[in-house]
């Protein structure tokens, strides 16, 4: 009987299944975007929501300046020089799903020009005569571009360049600029005003700092409560959570922002924060396919220039 009990005990021990191995943590892993041949490194500045085409600039190996670049299917293409006399540097900042790109040229003679590139040709965008610098910050599907002109005074001037009237600009006012524009022409301004396509206006009923308007989502930051606040175009709060400085969001609401207690960004996926495998401090955009575009310390040191990369989630 003792022998039978002993054998049964052994069999029982053998029959107990081993505990399953712990599932691998899901992380956002980076794939560097290649620099074009003849350039030392490349930097990403923006991404198209659906196509995933990325724009930025590449630094020339001889250190003489930079040139605008577009990556399609991760293959870099250097844009031609804008039709401006003299040497200088060029950078692409934004792109839509139709392949229309906007950026800025800075000449060796200190001439600054904003441009739109469509169908293989440049359009030099008009600016106020007092402008000393310019930035393009948003584009919609028809190629309308928003940005800012900077002067010697502390103020800036928000600008709208409509694709239908390339030789004109619309001033949005002194120290007022759009944080984004959608396909209908609706703009959200830094002073918390939503400008609808019919010209009507709605003001957000709360003193928040405006960060971004993209794909129908208005992102802001409440500095008094240290929260990220998202609004819809009817000025209603959609969600709010502890964190700061939302950088990017896609159509399904996957967001890149800064969690509490850190200076590094992470992905806000549903109600959870998901860290990047390699730390970075900002994000240039996120596609509707959940691909994050940003620049990162490729060699693990902050002593060298950050380079372009894309992040995707893996487990």
Domain definitions of the chain by residue range:
24-314
Cβ contact 79:101 at 8 Å: yes
DSSP 8-state secondary structure symbol assigned to residue 276 = B
C-alpha 136: how far from chain center:
13
Cβ contact 58:76 at 8 Å: yes
Q: What length is written for the chain? A: 315
Cβ contact 157:128 at 8 Å: yes
Q: Tell me the pLDDT band of 19, cut-offs 50, 70 and 90.
A: very low
pLDDT surpassing 60 at residue 20: no
Mean pLDDT along residues 124-134: 92
Strands 156-161 and 145-150: antiparallel
> Tokens 């860290």 appear where?
275
**Range from 15-29, 48-62, 115-129, 263-277 carrying the lowest mean pLDDT:** 15-29
Which of 302 and 41 is assigned the larger pLDDT?
Answer: 41
**Which pair of structure tokens corresponds to residue 45?**
């500045």
pLDDT surpassing 80 at residue 42: yes
Buried b (16+ CB within 10 A) or exposed e, 193-217: bbbeeeeeeeebeeebebbbbbbeb
Q: Tell me the pLDDT band of 100, cut-offs 50, 70 and 90.
A: very high
Mean pLDDT along residues 53-71: 96
What gap in Å lies between CA 34 and CA 262, rounded to an integer?
30
Give CA separation, 78 vs 60, 70, 95, 113, 296, in Å: 11, 7, 14, 18, 21
How confident is the prediction for the chain on average, in pLDDT? Answer: 91
User: What pLDDT sits at residue 281?
Assistant: 87
Q: Tell me the pLDDT band of 130, cut-offs 50, 70 and 90.
A: confident
Mean pLDDT along residues 38-46: 96
User: What pLDDT sits at residue 186?
Assistant: 98
Could you give the angle at the alpha carbon of 298 between the alpha carbons of 295 and 303, nearest 5°?
Answer: 95
Q: Which of 171, 80, 78 is nearest to 129 (CA)?
A: 171
**Which pair of structure tokens corresponds to residue 2?**
């003792």
Mean pLDDT along residues 139-159: 92
Q: Which of 66, 67, 89, 62 is nearest to 78 (CA)?
A: 67
pLDDT surpassing 60 at residue 91: yes
Q: Tell me the pLDDT band of 103, cut-offs 50, 70 and 90.
A: very high
User: What pLDDT sits at residue 2?
Assistant: 34
What gap in Å lies between CA 169 and CA 190, rounded to an integer?
19
pLDDT surpassing 90 at residue 300: no
**Which pair of structure tokens corresponds to residue 191?**
């002073």
Which residues does residue 156 pair with via DSSP β-bridges, in sequence order? 150
pLDDT surpassing 80 at residue 166: yes
Domain 24-314, second-level architecture: 7 Propeller (2.130)
Q: Tell me the pLDDT band of 302, cut-offs 50, 70 and 90.
A: low
Question: pLDDT tens digit string along 175-198?
Answer: 999 999 999 999 999 999 999 999
Question: pLDDT tens digit string along 195-247?
Answer: 999 999 999 999 999 999 999 999 999 999 999 999 999 999 999 999 999 99
């Amino acid at each position: 009987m003792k022998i039978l009990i002993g054998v049964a005990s052994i069999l029982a021990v053998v029959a107990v299944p081993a505990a399953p191995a712990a599932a691998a943590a899901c992380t956002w892993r980076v794939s560097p975007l290649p620099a074009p041949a003849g350039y030392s490194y490349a930097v990403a500045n923006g991404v198209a929501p659906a196509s995933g085409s990325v724009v930025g600039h590449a630094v020339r190996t001889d250190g003489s300046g930079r040139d605008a670049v577009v990556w399609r299917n991760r293959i870099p293409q250097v844009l031609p020089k804008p039709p401006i006399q003299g040497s200088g540097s060029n950078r692409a900042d934004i792109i839509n799903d139709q392949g229309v790109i906007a950026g800025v040229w800075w000449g060796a003679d200190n001439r600054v020009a904003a441009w739109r590139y469509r169908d293989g040709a440049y359009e030099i965008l008009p600016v106020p005569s007092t402008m000393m610098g310019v930035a393009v910050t948003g584009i919609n599907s028809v190629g309308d571009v928003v940005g800012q002109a900077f002067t010697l005074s502390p103020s800036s001037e928000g600008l709208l360049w409509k694709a239908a009237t390339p030789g004109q600009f619309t001033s949005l006012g002194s120290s007022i600029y759009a944080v984004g524009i959608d396909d209908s022409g609706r703009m959200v301004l830094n002073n918390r005003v939503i400008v609808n396509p019919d010209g009507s206006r709605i003001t957000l009923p709360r003193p928040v700092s405006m960060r971004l308007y993209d794909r129908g989502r208005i992102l802001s930051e409440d500095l008094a409560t240290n929260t990220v606040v998202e609004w819809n175009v009817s000025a209603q709060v959609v969600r709010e959570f502890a964190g700061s400085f939302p950088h990017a969001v896609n159509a399904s609401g996957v967001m890149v922002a800064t969690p509490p207690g850190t200076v590094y960004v992470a992905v806000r996926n549903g109600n959870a924060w998901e860290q990047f495998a390699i730390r970075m401090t900002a994000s240039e955009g996120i596609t509707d396919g959940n691909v994050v575009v940003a620049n990162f310390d490729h060699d693990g040191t902050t002593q060298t220039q950050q380079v372009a990369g894309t992040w995707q989630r893996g487990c």
